[in-house]
Structure formats: C-alpha cells, structure tokens
Amino acid sequence: MTLGIVSLYYGQSGKAGFYNKQEIGLARAMKARGYSCVVFYPVKDANIAKEEVTPDGITIVYCPAKTLGVHSRYDWNVLLKYHVDVIQIGSDNQLFMPDLVRFCKKHGIRFYHYIGTLGSDSGNELKRKLLNALFVRNVRIYRQSKCFAKTQAVYDGLRRLGVEDVEIMPVGLDTSIIPEIPESQEELRKQLQLPQDRQIVLFVGRMDPYKRPLELLELMKQLGQTHFFVLIGTGSMDGEVQAGLDALEGACRYRWIKQIPNVEIHKYYAASDYFVNFNDQEIFGMSILEAMYHGCTVVAVHAPGPDMIVENGVSGWLVEDTEKVMRLLMGNMMLDKGACHQRISGTFLWEKTTERAVEWVDARG
C-alpha cells in the first residue's frame, strides 16, 4: 500500500538538512510498518516536478504550485502518477484543502486530515476574519472525514465544532536522524567553546514575531552575569534582535548562530542546561522534543504544543510569562535529565505516535 503525505503549507519552516521535517519522520515510521511512502511538497514558480529518493527509500516530490501566502494548490494528478492508495492531508486552515478532497473523492483515493491548529492567529484583523470564515467551510469537511489532531487543544476544539471521528496523534521525533553523542556535557562544552562555569540557556527558532525573540533579550538583560545564552535562528526580526544585543553593551555573554545543520544542533541541546520557548501559540514544537530528548530542561510559556508535551515540574516547566521563566532560571530549577528524555522516548517518537493512523488505514485496506 502506498501512503501519500501531502503538505499544503508554503512558508518558512526550514530548509532541508537544517530542520527536522515532520512529514519525513512520519514517512520513515510508516515505511517501517510496511508502507511505500511518498511525500509531496509545494514549490512556487517551478516548471516541473522534481523527485528525490532518500537512502532509506522515502520518495519526496517537489511539485510546481500556485501559492497564496502560506496556502498552496498543485496539480493533484501527481497523486495518480505515484499510485497512492491513501493520503494524509496537512489540512491546517488551508484554503485549497477542499479542492484536494474533491479530487480524492473523484478518484477513489482514501484520505485523512492531520490538524495542528484551528482558525487563524494572523495579526491582520481583516485577514484573520477572512481566514476564519473559510475555516468554517473546512470544518464542514472535517465533520464528514477522519481527522487526527496533533494536540489535546485541537482535539477539544474539533469536538466542540461537531467533529466526531477525531483522535489525537501527536507529532513525533525521528530518532534516525539524531546523532549519537557519547561526549559528556563538560566535553561538549569544551568542544563547542562554551563556558563551563555558567548555566547555558538555549533558544532555537525563527527570529519572527510569533516566536517572541525580544522576550529573550529581557531575560538576557536580567541574567547576563550568571548565564550564557545561545541563540539559533534567523528571520524578519534579525535587525531588532541585533540592536537589542548591541544595547546590552557586553553585559551579557552569548553566541548567535543564524543557521546550523540539524545534525549539528543536537550537540547544543546536550550541552545546554535550559531550553526556553516564549511562543504562546506554539502548535507543537519540534525543538522542544529534541531538547527534552537530550535531557535539557525546557521552560515554555503555556501553549497547545508545550502543554501536550511537558509534564510540569517533572519533565519540564510550563509558565505564564517571561517573569516566571526568569524566576525558574534564577532559582537553578533544572530537572532530572532522565525524566526529560524518558518523556520523549516513551511517548513522542513517530513509531509510537503513528499507531492509531496505521490502525485506521489498515482497517480500510
């Protein structure tokens, strides 16, 4: 049986090799269960589809697409070319999802939705109202389809909207691309030229408003004498972040890495004491999974993703605001590395999280 994993999102989610792509990790887990897997990604302004086959046999197809913001539509006949039997649709608020559903029904292709967010959180009021109006149309389709929700919050929201055939399927971690790190934390810090005498605080994410990187600057201003900060990421707020760092006038020690291969970032997770996340709209948080897998204590503002992943006070900390983040870091509130790791390895690996989808697909095979 061939499973197609269709991404409709077109945006800045990280380039290949520098980001742990959810679709690829899920495809590997499904392939291990005996499926052939094809992942479809939209590419703007391309003339022809390009195919790539990974060493472990996952086919990736980059499809010419028409885009509107982060929404994409492409020639769905590509699904017929690759003889897919069932597809997973990354349906999050996507404008062209109903068009894809109509194509699947016409050609007898089974499908299910994988949903990480409900409605629009755009800062533009007009855009938000328009997208939320279109989201109502998507909900009508969800009510007639199989849905998997990434978080408890999305599951609860779908149920309130009258979607009955929905289950929770969290995002998982793809351990096949995580390198073995035999070095101790002390050895890693020496290798990475990080200080041994300070607690290290790690921030990983795009320097864009939704990630709230300026909150980190406030933290650095207050804790700069006792902690060392590592920033990994780039984005539209690079200038503001740099201006804020310059204003610290050497009072804080830090390192800003704008881009790093995913295989290398794991050393920084293992070398750090804390990982901070300020995004109060975090859909899930792949970096949170990675950090906890390496035993790093996550301190995250409440959001659907962190609330799903973190057991507060056991495998990480959930807080209301930056002030609470600061108090925890000042109080040296690191948690047991084994508990952080076990939370991920026991619950949030793709081979575990995909079990329900496999049961649904096999029952209709």
What's the confidence (pLDDT) of residue 251? 65
Tokens of 310: 């973190």
Ranges of each domain in the chain: 2-174+349-363, 175-347
DSSP assignment, residue 209? G
Looking from the CA of 170 toward its CB, the CA atoms found within 13 Å total 26
CATH no. of 2-174+349-363: 3.40.50.2000
Distance CA 274, CA 96 (A): 40
pLDDT in tens, the chain (365 residues): 999 999 999 976 544 444 568 999 999 999 999 999 999 999 998 889 999 999 999 999 999 999 998 899 999 999 999 999 999 999 988 999 999 999 999 999 999 999 999 876 556 676 667 777 777 889 999 999 999 999 999 999 999 999 999 999 999 999 999 999 999 999 999 999 999 999 999 999 999 999 999 999 989 988 888 899 999 999 999 999 999 999 987 767 899 999 998 889 999 999 999 999 999 999 999 999 999 999 999 999 999 999 999 999 999 999 998 888 888 888 888 999 999 999 999 999 999 999 999 999 988 76
Domains 2-174+349-363 and 175-347 alike in fold: yes
What is the C-alpha separation between 284 and 310, in angstroms, rounded?
11
Q: What number of other Cβ atoms are within 10 A of residue 208's Cβ?
A: 16
The burial of 303, by beta-carbon neighbours within 10 Å (0-12 exposed, 13-18 middle, 19 or more buried), is given as buried
Predicted TM-score (pTM) of this structure: 0.90
175-347: CATH superfamily: Glycogen Phosphorylase B; (3.40.50.2000)
